[in-house]
């Protein structure tokens, strides 16, 4: 598990949501994490040191000094941690954190921390939406901290709205995701990716074209994720509203399949990994009218010719490159994807089916299966950013073989 062996410092402040922290500690410990709990003096009104210590298997500290006069070093606690989780984080504790009001062990430890800090706010709904709270959360984010947003539901006051601390499972998943990303960070340093994205538009006349519904979201997510992991990325996109500002991504805009083919092979010999996620039009009009075609006849016949197969050409010219293709299918999905893997000389192929709700064009989510010549791996429906992480994790695993 990704949290196994990690040192997690949990800071508990004085809110009713503190009772949930027992479940979070239990889950971290069960998965092999080393957990240390500290708490504000007010937190002791809601949970006991004994219960938290029993679950974490460590003494719990709420003061600078122990009963026998020893110093509970906030410096050592801060330097020990791989990550610090403040949960629940009350409005009072949040304000002290961002304004440096260091009057307890939790704030002193926080101000000494060099590790990432994750904040799970919890308060009544009017407090949560108050301008001062919003400003303090913005300040915390500007410090580089991760905010785990409060959830909506019934609050201790009896009101219903946003302010509930995120569930322990949600906080756990955020921490686990952080360590997963840390595991894969910079693993593509020194590698160059070429990624195709979006649709192609094949002109009929100066006004009309043949195209498809691809938004380019999947390809752009892949480009951003590869860049985060240290890669140099060449992104060749058909018409798409998506944008990227990462300096490690060079974006080239094209319109037609022929333009995309030409641009791909400007760079192909120099790349390490190619990912063809573009939805390239299979056919284009044989002739393009120079003027707009007038609506004179009941029927219009357009003769289509086959476009160049960009992915097949990449496979034929492959030397050292690791090549990834995509297959969007509506029937015989797995059979067609495996056929494409073999025919186009790919190292792996990503299958998504239009039969799966939430997958395919324009959606912010996708559901995929990955095939190699010997493996098949299935994934649940996820955001396209998370799908990009899954795909690149798989690419990484293949390159390490």
Write the CB contacts of 16 (distance below 8 Å, at least 6 apart in sequence).
46, 122, 156
Taking the C-alpha atoms of residue 389 and residue 398, their distance in angstroms, rounded to an integer, is 14
Write the CB contacts of 321 (distance below 8 Å, at least 6 apart in sequence).
268, 271, 272, 273, 274, 314
Active-site option among 72, 212, 336, 393: 212
Question: 73-105 burial, b if ≥16 CB within 10 A, otherwise e?
Answer: bbeebbeebbbbbbbbbbbbbbebbbeeebebb
Q: In terms of residues, how long is the chain? A: 401
CA dihedral 21, 26, 27, 32 (to 10 degrees): 130
8 Å CB contact between 164 and 128 = no
CA distances from 401 to 180, 311, 322, 398 (A): 20, 24, 13, 5
CA distances from 166 to 18, 87, 89, 121, 152 (A): 11, 9, 11, 8, 9
Active site residue 212: yes
Q: Is the peptide bond before 88 cis (omega within 30 degrees of 0)?
A: yes
Taking the C-alpha atoms of residue 323 and residue 321, their distance in angstroms, rounded to an integer, is 6
3-class SS of residue 236: strand
Taking the C-alpha atoms of residue 251 and residue 240, their distance in angstroms, rounded to an integer, is 12
Q: Which residues are catalytic?
A: 212
């Amino acid at each position: 598990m990704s949290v196994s062996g990690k040192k997690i410092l949990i800071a508990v402040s004085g809110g009713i949501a503190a009772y949930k922290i027992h479940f979070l500690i239990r889950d971290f410990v069960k998965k092999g994490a080393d957990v240390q709990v500290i708490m504000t003096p007010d937190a002791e009104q809601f949970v006991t040191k004994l219960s938290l210590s029993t679950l974490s298997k460590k003494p719990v500290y709420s003061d600078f000094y122990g009963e026998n006069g020893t110093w509970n070093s906030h410096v050592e606690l801060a330097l020990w941690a791989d990550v610090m989780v403040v949960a629940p984080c009350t409005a009072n504790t949040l304000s002290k954190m961002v304004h440096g009001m260091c009057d307890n062990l939790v704030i002193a430890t926080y101000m000494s921390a060099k590790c990432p800090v994750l904040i799970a706010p919890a308060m009544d709904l009017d407090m949560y939406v108050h301008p001062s709270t919003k400003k303090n959360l913005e300040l915390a984010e500007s410090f580089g901290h991760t905010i785990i947003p409060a959830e909506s539901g019934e609050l201790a006051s009896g009101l219903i709205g946003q302010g509930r601390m995120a569930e322990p499972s949600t906080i756990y998943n955020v921490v686990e995701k952080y360590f997963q990303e840390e595991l894969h960070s910079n693993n593509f340093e020194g590698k160059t990716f070429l990624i195709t994205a979006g649709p192609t538009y094949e002109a009929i006349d100066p006004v009309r074209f043949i195209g498809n519904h691809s938004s380019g979201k999947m390809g752009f997510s892949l480009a951003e994720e590869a860049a985060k992991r240290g890669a140099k990325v060449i992104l060749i996109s058909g018409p798409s509203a998506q944008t990227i500002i990462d300096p490690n991504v060079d974006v080239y805009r094209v319109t037609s399949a022929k333009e995309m083919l030409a641009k791909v092979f400007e760079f192909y010999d120099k790349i390490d990994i190619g990912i063809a996620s573009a939805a390239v039009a299979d056919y284009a009009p044989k002739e393009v009218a120079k003027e707009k075609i007038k609506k004179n006849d009941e029927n219009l016949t357009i003769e289509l010719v086959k476009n160049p197969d960009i992915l097949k050409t990449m496979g034929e010219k492959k030397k050292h490159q690791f090549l990834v293709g995509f297959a969007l299918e509506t029937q015989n999905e797995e059979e067609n994807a495996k056929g494409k893997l073999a025919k186009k000389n790919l190292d792996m192929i990503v299958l998504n089916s239009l039969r799966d709700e939430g997958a395919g064009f324009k959606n912010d989510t996708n559901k995929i299966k990955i095939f190699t010549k010997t493996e098949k791996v299935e994934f649940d429906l996820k955001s396209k950013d998370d799908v990009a992480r899954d795909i690149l994790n798989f690419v990484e695993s293949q390159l390490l073989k």
